């Protein structure tokens, strides 16, 4: 059985999306949604909210999210996408990643910076996410 990674997509009416840039990725690529694995003791929505808080310092409640369902992600995981529709995406300069990984005995934040990715530049997101935008736009336009 595949693991579930839970993601929150913060999107405005124009289809611009908050991107989290993965540390050690090329500057103009490697963007992701705030997301992570669902732990055994939590629901998918709880995991998505936790990951958002850890990776951006943003706090949302489950009643602020739209469930876009579970979709194939890669060989090992499916992705459960939740949408947060907002007129104003939080200023990326005010976001702080509080989640770290260790490499060569040194800790690094999972995300090294954030950017509001315009709809026309979604190619900046990781390749594995490119086939998710139709789903996201469908729910954003409802």
pLDDT, average across residues 69-78: 95
pLDDT, average across residues 49-65: 96
Q: Give the end-to-end CA distance of the chain in Å, rounded to a whole number.
A: 32
At residue 142, the pLDDT reads 85
pLDDT, average across residues 17-45: 91
Q: What is the pTM of this model?
A: 0.94
CATH class of the domain comprising 3-140: alpha beta
Of 142 and 88, more confident: 88
Q: How is 1-70 classified by DSSP, letter by letter?
A: --EEEEEEEEE-TT--EEEEEETTS-TTS-EE-SEEEPPTTS-HHHHHHHHHHHHH-----GGG-EEEEE
């Amino acid at each position: 059985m595949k693991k579930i990674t839970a993601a929150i997509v913060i999107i405005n009416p124009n289809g611009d999306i908050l991107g989290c840039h993965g540390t050690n990725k090329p500057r103009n690529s490697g963007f992701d949604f705030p997301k992570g694995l669902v732990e055994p003791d939590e629901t998918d929505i709880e995991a998505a909210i936790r990951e958002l808080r850890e990776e951006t310092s943003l706090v949302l409640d489950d009643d602020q999210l739209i469930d876009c369902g579970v979709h194939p992600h890669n060989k090992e995981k499916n992705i459960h996408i939740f949408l947060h529709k907002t007129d104003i995406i939080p200023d990326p300069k005010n976001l702080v990643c509080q989640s770290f990984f260790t490499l060569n005995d040194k800790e690094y934040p999972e995300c090294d910076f954030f950017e509001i990715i315009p709809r026309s530049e979604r190619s900046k997101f990781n390749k594995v996410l490119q086939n998710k935008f139709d789903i996201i736009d469908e729910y954003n336009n409802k």
